[in-house]
A and B are shown apart, each in its own frame.
Chain A
Amino acid sequence: MRWVCILFPQLALDAVLRQRPDPDEPLALLTGPAQRRVLQAVNGPARALGLRPGQSMAAAQALSKGFVTAEYDAAEIEHWQQFLAAWAYRFSSQVSVHYPRAVVFEIESSLGLFGAWPQFEARLRTELTELGFRHRIVAAPNPVAARVLANVYDGLVVPDDQALRYHLGQLPVDRIALEPTVSTALSRMGLRTLSQVQALPRHTLARRFEAQVLKHLDALLGLRHLALAFYLPPDRFDVRIELNFDVQSHQALLFPLRRLTGDLSAFLCGRDSGVQRFDLHLEHAGLPDTLIKVGLLSAERDPAMLFELARGRLEQVQVEAPVRGFRLRAEDLPSFVPQRQELFDDRPQQSLPWEQLRERLRARLGDEAVQGLRFQADHRPECAWQTTVDNQFCGGLPGVQRPGWLLTEPLAVHEGSARILMGPERIESGWWDGADVRRDYYLIQTRAGQQGWAYRVVGEGGPLWLQGWFA
């Protein structure tokens, strides 16, 4: 039992249905050119009306008018399969979308974390039901067998190879994902189940069929390994829901909003990241989108919280035109830091490491905004400091009196507005780099009692120049 296959028997229908508030509404998905629309898939209530896949639209409308239609969009189905893979990525790093309408992932290494299989299966089912996808789950020793068994079973667990051999042997030959010509040929030979096929000598099968058939049978039994391309989650989240009618009140937007934030949360859990900033686009016919920016103080991924925050922003907005589409985009997905909980923690809740805080500040204020300070061994005050990003230790000059604040541009001190308390101290340096200074520094006190550090260039008269405050 190493691989789980989750098959979505009506992925296309579920993808459309989950965006509608009423799931019991009869729904038919249409395909084909505009001249000849054909029903591709119908849900249960629509089936009860007499609609069947393959009917033409005209025939369906002759039977009933009380159903809604949507386009059967292959790209949309692909998108939802990717979404479900992102959801499954939470449980396993080896997730594959090799098979259409199904997600296959390795599970044995995750059971230690998520508990025994029955609980884990229950969790998978709960989450999928909440997301609104019908599903069949089968666990088997190899991915090919899991996928094939999901054709027939739901909730089956195959613990070992012997049980696998037994369960596979029961399968009829037309359900084991062989080419139709091959399965027809086999059934015409009188072979109904896989066990009968396996009982045949290998070389006779090899002579009668293409090499592909034996390879597939070997892969089913785990004798031959299938190389799967694993799913890699994307770095951004961008999902759009098209509303089929003009929405004029925000009440009607809450359902799609809840879906979108729920999907975002499922995606974030899969990537083990959070979201700090995301955009809601309200699309209008013929007008530019209304953009609602939602920003958070810290990275979050709780669906209820995301929904409440987005709802708060949405309710504030006045839109001038009816809304036709709804879209949620999240570009920046920082890693999620769960609340640190230590028994003896002197800093309570939501402690954010300095590195993350620095990144957040830099993201908003600019790359140069966060600086360190460093002493440079130079006597000239304007050269004695340097901003830095690394934090290496650097020595200083102990015992020399220097002001706490340094002015970047010296200010002239008016005659008589300050008196000299101490000085002079001569600083004479910099003849080697062209910025030669010869100054006498004084500790001065202004009339208001402020203490400053001012200089006069040696050999020049004139006012004192204030260069620092003894703060």
Chain B
Amino acid sequence: MGAVVALDTLFNGGQVWKGRPAPPAVSPQPTGHAALDAALPTGGWPEAALTEILLAGQGVGELQLVWPALARLSAAGERIVLIAPPYVPYPQAWQNAGIDLRQLSIIQASERDALWAAEQCLRSGSCGAVLCWPRKADDRALRRLQVAAETGSTLAFAYRSMAEAVNPSPAALRIAIDAKPAQLRVLKCRGGLARTAPIAFAMGH
């Protein structure tokens, strides 16, 4: 009888909508910013996925946004890889943020190789977080990064220009950082509705 289908397979296949959806799992990677955590559906960075951070210019707190998570990962012995960073990371500032510099690796690569290197690092599964600065990445390149991050269950951060905000993106989370007023806007987040109200984000000095 072909009509007999086990209930489990129906439910697990996601074909039947159950009245009470399970709350999304709590992310094991809190951002370290209480207001942002509260706004995100999983309460932290999406695990094993690509996060896009959009900014208009440097120096708006784009590193302070990720430093708490990086500090926690490096303390846990995970490797943090910066792929073709735009400037030199000032060791003292990174150390003061709690990041173990021994766990930090910087990969110098050209524009094209940087995407390849990012995909390799994400896919390998041996890095805790991978930060990259794709300048001319289209949605296919980002999709590759997203799939690689899923494969290697690694946190991926892509810093892109604010001008990309209008383009669609396969990233699981998109956050825009505004400098004036200093605030964060969640443009897209997987697993819940994006909160439209901006989140105050003051740079700590």
Contact = CB atoms under 8 A, between A and B. Distances in A.
B17 interface: no
B92 A402 contact: yes
A378 B90 CA distance: 12
Contacts of A469: 58-59, 87
B127 A354 contact: yes
B125 A347 contact: yes
Nearest to A447: B180
A450 B113 CA distance: 29
B64 A471 contact: yes
B205 A443 contact: yes
What's the interface size class on A, roughly?
A: 35 or more
A371 B106 contact: yes
Given A448-B179, A452-B59, A351 B108 contact: no
Interface in B141-194: 151-153, 178-180, 182
Interface string B99-118: 00110111111000100110
A364 B90 CA distance: 27
A91 B155 CA distance: 42
Contacts of A364: 113, 116-117
Interface in A220-260: none
Contacts of A347: 125, 152-153
A459 interface: no
A455 to B, nearest CB: 14
A391 B102 contact: yes
Contact of B205 (A372, A375, A422): A422
A206 interface: no
B105 A406 contact: no
Contacts of A451: 59-61, 203, 205
A381 B92 CA distance: 10
Contacts of B85: 405
Contacts of A449: 60, 178-180, 182
B92 A397 contact: yes
B88 A370 contact: no
A401 B104 CA distance: 20
Nearest to A394: B101
Interface string A315-352: 00000000000000000000000000000001111111
Interface residues of B, number: 51
A398 interface: yes
Interface string B5-44: 0000000000000000000000000000000000000000
A290 B141 CA distance: 30
B107 A396 contact: no
Contact of A402 (B62, B87, B96): B96
A470 interface: yes
B87 A405 contact: yes
B92 A384 contact: yes
A66 interface: no
Nearest to A362: B107
A404 B94 contact: yes
Nearest to B116: A364
A316 to B, nearest CB: 19
B106 A387 contact: yes
B113 A406 contact: no
Contact of B101 (A357, A372, A401, A403): A372
A370 B124 CA distance: 16
A346 B180 CA distance: 41
A353 B126 contact: yes
Nearest to A346: B153
A448 B57 contact: yes
A459 B92 CA distance: 27
Given A346-B153, A398-B96, A402-B93, 9 more contacts: A349-B151, A352-B126, A354-B124, A373-B89, A373-B104, A400-B92, A405-B89, A451-B59, A452-B59
Q: Which 5 pairs between the two chains have the least Cβ-Cβ distance?
A: A449-B179, A469-B59, A450-B59, A449-B180, A375-B91
Interface of B: 56-64, 67, 79, 85-97, 101-102, 104-109, 113, 116-117, 120-121, 123-127, 151-153, 178-180, 182, 203, 205
10 contacts: A351-B126, A354-B127, A358-B105, A370-B106, A401-B205, A403-B59, A404-B64, A451-B61, A468-B87, A469-B58
